[in-house]
Amino acid sequence: MRAQLGLFIAPISSRFRDLMGDRMHGNMARGGLAVVTVVMMAIPCWAQQASKELAKKSLEDLMNIEVTSVSKTPQPLARSAAAIYVITQEDIQRSGATSVPELLRMVPGLDVAQIDSSTWAISSRGFNSQYANKMLVLVDGRIVYSPSFSGVVWDEQDLVLEDIERIEVIRGPGATLWGSNAVNGVINIITKKAQDTQGGLLSVKAGNEEDIETTTQYGGKAADKGYYRIFAKYFDREASATAAGEDAEDGWHMTHAGFRSDWELSKRDSLTVQGDFFSGRENHTIPFVVSLQPIVSGQFDVPFEAAGGNLLGRWNHVFSPRSAATLQVYFDDSDRDQSIVSEHRHSTDIDFQDHIALGNRHDLVWGIGYRYEEDRLPGSLSLSFSPVNSSLSRYSSFVQDDISLVPNRLRVMLGTRLEHDPYTGFNVQPDFRVFWSPTKNQSIWGAVSRPERTPSRADIGVRFILSAFPGPGGIPTAVTSYGNPGLDNEHVVSFQMGYRFQLRDSLSLDITAYHSRYSQLSTAEPQAPFIETDPMPPHLSIPVVSANAMGGTTDGVELESSWQVKNWWKVAGGYTWLHMDIHDQVTGNPSNVAYVQSTNPQHQVNFRSYVNLPKNLQWDTMMYYVGLLPGNLVSTYAVASYTRLDTRVAWRFKERGEVSFTGQNLLQPRHIEFASSQVSGSSLVKRSFYVGFSWHF
């Protein structure tokens, strides 16, 4: 498995927990426990029964129980030397969100903007776009960052939301532990172990935007040592709206099925095998050039067919109380068929990690990884890749030492990653962190990191006609964007500081400030026009070619707080401030800078309230304010600031069922969240309602 967030987390009750417990897979089970706890409180007899069972267990049995720590979530967070936010299963239920991107809205410091019904732009600390390329996203240790276009194809990241244990979001660099491209953040989605989803689940949602979503799941015990779950899910989402309020014809549907099994092979060995497969169909409105002779271009509805699957195995071995190792292997296939460009990709990834506690002070973790990517990207006149087929290998290794200088008080973390990228060769990505806890409920941390963003297939060899018009003498003329095989990594040096304050379990405050210095950011630079004969017909090409010509700084502050006002009422809120100062280092071409700076809000505010009412009723409210996106008048348009309000009422019955009613985007009939003319046209998010029903059996 990829480095778990535990690496940034100090011990709760002992140093060992730090890396062993959290890192390998222990923390998978922790966050969602809040929900288990809630359930257990609701049903005290369960708890007593559990205690009766526990009292019968032998010491050996007890030592093999994977423990999830209640309401400890604030504590590990309070001990991490990074800007971390964790979405728990409770947050997932109460948000009313029906997809992973929508869930991420609640994370302070993340900018989530819906582009059309199935496309989102998600980034932290600036540089947002549909292909936001500075966030690394993993699902159960599997990287879902697209090597073709950079960024994340969010519509393919469907999960049964009930099965998510937690989503850990780290803002700022995470490249040393997690790998290249974790420049401005890491999103780590962790699903529950199979033993935590035993029994059946039936869930149905239906509404005006969420046409229908059904999930069927069953979890059972296999032989003596293993647990499994299997699920099948189908959803159909309605189209978003055009500016005129008409149907944007970008509806989509997807079928998704999968399984997870967890095995205790011996006292020292555990194995997880999981896999899932999806197939869906989407529509996007895309501006593109269909033909150069005659010139035909415009916005077209393009159907996409997306399908894929993955199979992952993870073996964990405990050598001794002070040493454990994990070996993870996965295969990931994805196919995206559409008329402009198709993508067929097969990835194989092998990852080994070892953790050793050395002496009283050192917690050492190191790992090696190998990734093999095979792809085929057949294109069209408008968009093509060179070469069409590729197979690339990537090698990586990392080491980090977490050194306890004063137990529980002062730690330093030193680490570095050495990676060999198929395009840019060796790169070194070091990281240094300090954590200091002056009193029990306060902590201060600082970090200096130097992550890198490596080029994607598109950066290296894309050929994309941006626009076409009749040129001098009637010769067809195309403004074409070209990749650059010589493109280098984007470099960043980031400085961060954070302060946390926790007052008992009821009030917490978390502030992070950062200053990042970017260089060699990728740009598109105009070059001298030439006559191009491939593809036919011969035409005048005005090229813009990828280069590493931009640099600059970003500064920001992220603030979050949560307060358990009463035992039946919890509120949480966040504020994000971002200032970008990017400039072109080489050519002074203003359009690149204008593009990068035009798509990010300077201010964001969010507020959530969870109310537990009598008679098993819940009432939850979420409010998000997103400031103006300035736009640059050329490739992006200004998006007015907006406030989004969602609310949800749910009733739980017989401890097994839930009926909920959710209203989203209540303040306006529709609003736009992102407006970029790049690749996907933008449409408007509508006011929506849905009714949900779920039953555990």
Partner 1 sequence: MRATLLKAISVLVGQSQLGERRSRLSRNLFRLRIAAVPVLLTVIVVPNVTKAQSSGLTEYQVKAAFLYNFAKFVEWPPDAFPNNTTPFTICVLGDNPFGSSLNEIVQGQTINARGFVIRTNIQKQDVKACHILFISDSEKKQLLEDLKSLRGTSVLTVGETPDFAEQGGQIQFFWVNGKIRFAVNTDAAERAHLKMSSKLLALAKIVHDEKQ
Q: Residues 294 to 313: which contact partner 1 by CB under 8 A?
A: 305-307, 309
For partner 1, which stretch binds (CB under 8 A), given 315-323, 495-503, 515-523, 680-688?
Answer: 315-323
Structure tokens that stand for 668 in this block: 């306006």
For partner 1, which stretch binds (CB under 8 A), given 88-96, 97-105, 229-237, 662-670?
Answer: 229-237
Q: With binding defined as CB under 8 A, does residue 40 bind partner 1?
A: yes
The smaller minimum CB distance to partner 1, of residues 222 and 667, is found at 222
Quick one: three-class SS letters along 109-177? Answer: CEEEEEEECCEEEEEECCCCCCCCCCEEEEECCEECECCCCCCECHHHCCCCHHHEEEEEEEECCCHHH
DSSP assignment of 279-306, as one string?
Answer: EEEEEEEEEEEEEETTEEEEEEEEEEEE
The one-letter amino acid code at 478 reads A
Give the closest residue to 572 by CA, choosing from 607, 623, 618. 607
Distance CA 206, CA 559 (A): 35
Residue from 37, 397, 442, 564 in contact with partner 1 (CB under 8 A): 37
Residues 72-101 binding partner 1 (CB under 8 A) are 72
CB contact set of 82 (below 8 Å; sequence gap of 6+): 5, 8, 170, 171, 172, 174, 433, 445, 447, 496, 498
Q: With binding defined as CB under 8 A, does residue 417 bind partner 1?
A: no
Q: With binding defined as CB under 8 A, does residue 48 bind partner 1?
A: yes
For partner 1, which stretch binds (CB under 8 A), given 29-37, 136-144, 530-538, 623-631?
Answer: 29-37
The smaller minimum CB distance to partner 1, of residues 230 and 557, is found at 230
Distance CA 310, CA 322 (A): 33
The one-letter amino acid code at 273 reads V
Q: With binding defined as CB under 8 A, does residue 68 bind partner 1?
A: yes
Least gap, CB of 306 to partner 1 (angstroms): 8
Residue from 211, 236, 249, 337 in contact with partner 1 (CB under 8 A): 337
The smaller minimum CB distance to partner 1, of residues 44 and 614, is found at 44
The smaller minimum CB distance to partner 1, of residues 48 and 389, is found at 48
Contact 9, 76 (CB under 8 A): yes
Determine the angle formed by the axes of helices 33-42 and 44-56, rounding to 10 degrees.
110
Least gap, CB of 697 to partner 1 (angstroms): 5
Strands 476-482 and 539-566: parallel
For partner 1, which stretch binds (CB under 8 A), given 28-36, 417-425, 507-515, 531-539?
Answer: 28-36
CB contact set of 350 (below 8 Å; sequence gap of 6+): 327, 328, 329, 369, 370, 371
The smaller minimum CB distance to partner 1, of residues 127 and 231, is found at 231
Give the closest residue to 152 by CA, choosing from 167, 137, 174. 137
Residue from 5, 7, 69, 260 in contact with partner 1 (CB under 8 A): 69
Residue from 12, 418, 493, 659 in contact with partner 1 (CB under 8 A): 12
The smaller minimum CB distance to partner 1, of residues 33 and 458, is found at 33
Q: With binding defined as CB under 8 A, does residue 689 bind partner 1?
A: no
Residue from 157, 206, 211, 234 in contact with partner 1 (CB under 8 A): 234
Structure tokens that stand for 648 in this block: 């949800």
Q: With binding defined as CB under 8 A, does residue 360 bind partner 1?
A: yes
Q: With binding defined as CB under 8 A, does residue 528 bind partner 1?
A: no
Residue from 7, 9, 17, 235 in contact with partner 1 (CB under 8 A): 17
Distance of alpha carbon 499 from its chain centroid, rounded? 24
Q: With binding defined as CB under 8 A, does residue 633 bind partner 1?
A: no
Q: With binding defined as CB under 8 A, does residue 439 bind partner 1?
A: no
DSSP assignment of 526-571, as one string?
Answer: E---EEE-SSSSPEEEEEEEEEEEEEEEEEEEEEEEEEEEETTEEE
Distance CA 45, CA 364 (A): 43
The smaller minimum CB distance to partner 1, of residues 70 and 475, is found at 70
Contact 106, 626 (CB under 8 A): no
Residues 273-292 binding partner 1 (CB under 8 A) are 277-279, 281
Residue from 27, 176, 484, 576 in contact with partner 1 (CB under 8 A): 27
Least gap, CB of 220 to partner 1 (angstroms): 5
Least gap, CB of 476 to partner 1 (angstroms): 34
Residue with tokens 């989509």: 252
Q: With binding defined as CB under 8 A, does residue 141 bind partner 1?
A: no
Least gap, CB of 118 to partner 1 (angstroms): 16
The smaller minimum CB distance to partner 1, of residues 227 and 690, is found at 227
CB contact set of 592 (below 8 Å; sequence gap of 6+): 523, 524, 525, 549, 550, 584
Residue from 2, 25, 260, 463 in contact with partner 1 (CB under 8 A): 25
Residues 246-275 binding partner 1 (CB under 8 A) are 255, 257, 259
Q: With binding defined as CB under 8 A, does residue 464 bind partner 1?
A: no
How far apart, in Å, are the Cα atoms of 497 and each of 245, 410, 434, 443, 513? 45, 15, 9, 11, 5
Residue with tokens 């055009």: 242
Structure tokens that stand for 92 in this block: 């997932």
Residues 185-214 binding partner 1 (CB under 8 A) are 193, 195-196, 198-200, 202, 214
